A and B are shown apart, each in its own frame.
Chain A
Amino acid sequence: MTSITQKTSIIALSALIAAFAMPSAFAGAGTVETYYWQNNPRFCNVTGELSTLGTLSQITAELDDSRATYNAEMNGITINAHNGSCSTNVIINGAYDMGWWSTILAQNTATWLHPLPAVNSLDVQFIDFNNAKPFAIESNSCSWTGFDIEWVMNHELGHAVGLKHHDHDPAESIMDPTCDAKWAALQTVDKTAIDIKYP
């Protein structure tokens, strides 16, 4: 197994590469909320992990539906379909056990070198589902017996493209942190935020 120090070095190298690639105006930014994809990223689905959530073809189709939702709004930036490569410029989708009682459905992980803004969000990000939770295809609900996997992906992909939680009340946003019917589609406030981030 790779040691923590080695992985830290790998991340450091990724950050170095990204630092050279970034425009100077972006390099001056200092908080994670400014991150965005400069190039068209692609999905990398860790199929062995995702298969714990249900039938793999159905799960992949649901993730692709969510991808299409964002592609329709990002003004030229396109998240491409899974093509088997997991090196750079990817959103890696997987699953592992985060505990039922944690209440976590899924999470997006961005890593960067302090104080750079989410360098790896431009290069590699992770979206992991909690396989201790029951997910369902087209359940259109936040039922404890089957959380709609596309709804959950809609929320997490929002994080991946650089949106933060909208937890002010009333939160008419897909970025409401708790599962809600609003996760079914991008809301007006979300589209406005995406237009600003991807003009």
Chain B
Amino acid sequence: MKQVKILLTVAIVASIGISTGAFIMSTDGEFVQVQQEIHSSYHEIPFSYMAKNTEYAIIGTVTKITPIVVETDKMNPTVFSDITVQVEQDLDGKYAGETFTVRNIGGETRELKTTHDAAADVKVGERILFFAVKEPSSMFGDNYYIAGLKQGKISLENGRASGYHIFDSSEVDLIKEIKTLRNK
């Protein structure tokens, strides 16, 4: 019965939406994608603090981004993305796995698209350095996520590093600096 009501709802929305020209349905008329835009306020974490105090500092290449819809009692259904990274180097030398997965906020499924203005912008194939933390009681659940979100992700390309705190730096020098901070 519930499914019938849902289908009826979508059908009504589709037919009236098309007839009024108020919005566009998908070509098959079976669904409407809900879009959720999240605007946030945040504070900056000094790069040195992040480099020194996070659980992991990982370098690797993004191989897969998988959208995950998370629903809790405290928030609307929201799309997160699990980012799989082929690990090239753990700056502390303690991570033994070949891949590392971090959860990012934002992503897209057929039914729902979530964007978040503080999220790290990550693409498949991108080589990155990131700081990872885990806070199981948070909306990220029992999953690692990028510390500081976009503040904790650094793009590495052609020997140069760039990110929220890093305008344009030598990759070698940056790694050396981070290792020094983490060993203090």
Contact = CB atoms under 8 A, between A and B. Distances in A.
Contacts of A126: 75-76
Interface string A109-123: 111111110100000
B37 A5 contact: no
Per DSSP, are chain B's interface residues mostly helix, strand or loop, or mixed? mixed
Interface string B2-43: 100110011011001100111110000000111111111111
Given A142-B43, A144-B43, A19 B135 contact: no
Interface in A17-33: 19-20, 22, 27, 32
B148 A114 contact: no
Contacts, number: 177
Nearest to B8: A9
Interface in B32-69: 32-45, 54, 69
Interface stretch (B87-95, B112-120, B168-176): B112-120
Given A13-B13, A19-B20, A96-B74, A107 B135 contact: no
A6 B147 contact: no
Per DSSP, are chain A's interface residues mostly helix, strand or loop, or mixed? mixed
B45 to A, nearest CB: 6
A15 B22 CA distance: 10
B interface bracket (residues with beta carbon within 8 Å of A)? 35 or more
Interface in A65-87: none
A105 B13 contact: no
- 5 shortest interchain CB distances as A-B pairs: A99-B138, A96-B74, A107-B40, A159-B39, A19-B22
20 contacts: A4-B112, A5-B6, A9-B6, A11-B34, A15-B23, A16-B17, A27-B20, A99-B133, A99-B138, A101-B45, A101-B148, A102-B140, A102-B149, A103-B43, A103-B149, A109-B76, A113-B23, A113-B32, A114-B33, A142-B43
